[in-house]
Amino acid sequence: MPLLHAANLRVLLAGAAFAHLSSHATTCASSPCTPPPLPRVRAFATYRASPPPPPPPPQPASPSPSRALASANAACEQGAKPAICTADELHYVPVPGTEWRLALWRYRPPPEAPKRNHPLMLLSGVATNAIGFDLSPGASFARHMSMQGFDTWIVEVRGAGLSMRGSELALANTSSEMSPSSFSDKISTQKINGAGSAQDDSTCLAQNFEVPVVEDNFEVPVVEDKDIVESNTSEEPQLVTKLSNALARLGDTFSGYVKDSRLRSIADSFFSRVSELVPDASLTNSLEEVSEKILGLLELPQTSAISDQISHLSQRLVNILGEGQQNISPRLFGWQERLSATIEDLQKQLELIISYDWDFDHYLEEDVPAAMNYIKQQSPTKDGKLLAIGHSMGGILLYAMVSKCGFEGAEPELAAIVTLASSVDYTTSNSSLKLLLPLADPAEMLRVPAIPLGTLLSTTYPISSRAPYILSLLRSQISSKDMMDPELLSKLVLNNFCTVPAKVLLQLTTAFRDGGLRNRTGTFLFKQHLHKIKVPVLALAGDEDLICPPEAVYETVKLIPQHLVTYKVFGKPEGPHYAHYDLVGGRKAVHEVYPCIIEFLSQHDEVSS
């Protein structure tokens, strides 16, 4: 199968963008285009153990991620485990020092299964949720592992799937079924019978960042009647307050992004739009002077004195705009409304930046450790270790974890790891993702806080099998031809992908540069310490994986001590072939890949002394 060429990729991206914008325009034509509010859910918590329910019936493929998550919300309101979660149990785990509650899907082994010594943790790829490991009862990687005796846990990192911020998880009736000691245990968590949806506001992101804004280009209506041209100055005090508050929020955000150019860019864009409201050229210099002073103050540590100066300058800015209306004839109509709308757009951008402010290191240093600690509490082992499998970015996280342990000389908390289609160094491979590197300029990429991947895929996938087949290239990135049931492939594409922060993608692009993947500061190269690891590794690759080709997997494997690593490529010249997801959900995986994984895990499930 040929790899994507740059020209084809540009056509693909253009087609995806066109399909997304066309879908958005159609929706707007029939209904108001307002971003849906973030869900508010009510959940019920209990620590009472219960026997695992029988496997649920197959769930039909949902038409979109947002609709599936809306169904989860409805289930939460009724106090039941959401239908989209097909695990035996759904747990929520707090991430210390944050508002986040990670969703953990648990699959308990049946009584007749082999007895195991360690629980098994599953980590998904970038911008994906738990569904990829549990597509249906007949195609469930997680359920298969639990049937082999492993107490299996899928971890949904922040922003993925059913994970959410604590402020969105309104627990009710908690005291009725919680033990008194649970309130004093700061790291204890809730096993949820009803859970809310993730805060995947990808629709809002798409509307705010991908749909061209045309309001600034329309012709401003004017008022000809001399008797009604007086400016409505009663709105100006409210505008000053609104502007001051927005700029103060921008200043507070600036203080958290010392080396981040995107906020300066947002501020420049805001004042550029404001300047368009000044029809009198003689006032342009005054407005630019005030704008520059405000920009300078925003980059300083925010104090009450700075806040007072920003408020004063905000008043001056509004006054300049008002003065501009007095000096022209006919006067602009509705300039206050336009300024108010411009301020609101700034506020929305800041909210999105704050909502999606995390990177790969947050997963590595906060989310995964919190999940591991909780799993070990719920499924204790004699040596305090667990087994782990990671697909794509999930495997990269595992490599990064053992690399840090090797560097620090610490005792690893993992008994063994399996990586599926993962590498920390793609420089020598022909990964199709390399073609996106020219687009990954930090300053440009961070103008958009997050990429609504779920929305884009759910919009473009339905037309990918129709002429002119531009978007059929998307399919080959996920699964090889005839390797997945079409209905399951649709469910995967429509339900498995989420919105991902630009910061996560930006850090992952370092895996395509000299030295491979590094931490957020660029000071720690994970591949340099893989030769020091003490954890057995099974590294699997797919012969037709365009995203993480076998040569990329081997680039990492060759750095690991030979006595600790096992490397295998699945796929045969005559078929079947394995693409990026097929190692987890391909139709042949259950007979070819799963036994290999189970054999490896069984060999390393012994408890160390």
Q: Has residue 212 been placed in a domain?
A: no
Q: Has residue 584 been placed in a domain?
A: yes
Q: How many domains are there within the chain? A: 2
Based on the domain organization, do 140 and 265 belong to the same domain? no
Task: Report pLDDT for 381.
Answer: 95
Question: Which phi and psi (to 5°) does residue 493 adopt?
Answer: -70, -40
Based on the domain organization, do 461 and 515 belong to the same domain? yes
Based on the domain organization, do 468 and 570 belong to the same domain? yes
| C-alpha to C-alpha distance for 118 and 122, rounded to whole angstroms | 13
Based on the domain organization, do 502 and 545 belong to the same domain? yes
Based on the domain organization, do 379 and 350 belong to the same domain? no
Q: Has residue 65 been placed in a domain?
A: no
Task: Report pLDDT for 52.
Answer: 42
Q: Has residue 585 been placed in a domain?
A: yes
Based on the domain organization, do 409 and 542 belong to the same domain? yes
Residue 419 contacts by C-beta under 8 Å, 6 or more apart in sequence? 389, 390, 395, 396, 398, 399, 537, 538, 539, 540, 553
Of residues 603, 604, 581, 585, the one with CA closest to residue 594: 585
Start-to-end C-alpha separation, the chain: 48
* Residues 419 and 537: beta-carbon distance below 8 Å: yes
Question: Which phi and psi (to 5°) does residue 44 adopt?
Answer: -120, 135
Based on the domain organization, do 594 and 495 belong to the same domain? yes
Q: What pTM, to 2 d.p., does this model score?
A: 0.70
| C-alpha to C-alpha distance for 255 and 237, rounded to whole angstroms | 27
Token pair listed for 167 = 């402020």
Looking up residue 472, the CATH number of its domain turns out to be 3.40.50.1820
What CA dihedral angle connects 567, 573, 576 and 578, to 10 degrees? Answer: 40
Question: Cis peptide before 576, with omega less than 30 degrees from 0?
Answer: yes
For the chain, 609 residues long, the average pLDDT of each consecutive 10-residue run is 42 42 39 35 31 45 44 43 91 95 97 97 96 94 98 97 79 38 38 42 40 35 35 61 81 58 74 78 81 84 84 86 64 71 80 83 98 97 96 98 95 96 95 70 59 76 56 78 91 90 90 95 96 97 97 98 98 95 96 98 82
| C-alpha to C-alpha distance for 255 and 252, rounded to whole angstroms | 5
Residue 284 contacts by C-beta under 8 Å, 6 or more apart in sequence? 275, 278
Based on the domain organization, do 395 and 528 belong to the same domain? yes
Q: Has residue 4 been placed in a domain?
A: no
* Residues 167 and 161: beta-carbon distance below 8 Å: no
Based on the domain organization, do 351 and 364 belong to the same domain? no
Give how far the C-alpha of residue 357 lies from the chain's centroid of Cα atoms, to the nearest Å.
10
Task: Report pLDDT for 504.
Answer: 92
Task: Report pLDDT for 319.
Answer: 85
Q: Has residue 526 been placed in a domain?
A: yes
Based on the domain organization, do 349 and 243 belong to the same domain? yes
Based on the domain organization, do 292 and 390 belong to the same domain? no
Based on the domain organization, do 387 and 348 belong to the same domain? no
Write out the residue range of the structural domain in which residue 583 sits. 78-159+360-608
